[in-house]
Amino acid sequence: LQILLLAVILITLECSVFYRCCQSESCNKTYRSFISIVLALLGIAFSGYSCIIFTLHLIQGPFCNSSSGWNYIFKDTAGGYLTDYPAWSKCTEPANIVEWNIILLSILICLSGVQLIICILKVAAELKRTLCGTYS
């Protein structure tokens, strides 16, 4: 949803209606750079939020069926279940849910981290371009 929101904003900003406010070339470039910085900062916030949520969910463990019923059976282990392979058998349903949960959330954490790095680099590049006078 967050990425979709950013995409809608970018598409909307591409419309010629928004470029009529600045008729000069340097104003238009500075305006685009400012919008790019704002959107990259939103990307940093969204990817940071996602990375935190995915990490917390990985620490909590999967929602699965055990002898005591459906619940988060690893939530009190503070992520200790990640290295305790024999404890994974406590989850009887769905099959292989612990492995699936670890793999999926690890991939999502990595992708959020990559997105965070890209957005930070984008902000740094746009700030350098704007503040060092390339657009003046």
H or E segment at 28?
helix 25-60
What's the total number of domains in the chain?
Answer: 1
- For 120, residues 6+ apart whose C-beta sits below 8 A from its C-beta are 40, 44
Q: Name the residue range of residue 31's domain.
A: 2-13+27-131
Average pLDDT over residues 18-37: 64
Average pLDDT over residues 101-126: 91
What is the reported pLDDT for 110? 93
Residue 22 is assigned to a structural domain of this protein? no
How much of the chain exceeds pLDDT 90, in percent? 23
What is the reported pLDDT for 100? 92
Cα separation of 101 and 81, whole Å? Answer: 12
Residue 59 confidence class, pLDDT cut points 50, 70, 90 = very high
Residue 63 is assigned to a structural domain of this protein? yes
What is the reported pLDDT for 28? 61
Residue 18 is assigned to a structural domain of this protein? no
Q: Kindly report the average pLDDT of the chain as a whole number.
A: 81
Of the two residues 30 and 65, the one the predictor is more confident about is 65
What is the reported pLDDT for 134? 58
Average pLDDT over residues 119-136: 78
Using one digit for the tens of pLDDT, what is the confidence trace for 12-26?
655 554 555 555 555
12-20 contacts at long range (C-beta below 8 A, 24 or more positions apart) = none
Residue 114 is assigned to a structural domain of this protein? yes
Which of left, alpha, beta for 74 (phi over 0: left; psi -120 to 50: alpha)?
A: alpha
Residue 123 is assigned to a structural domain of this protein? yes
Q: How far, CA to CA in Å, does 136 sit from each of 9, 33, 131?
A: 25, 12, 9
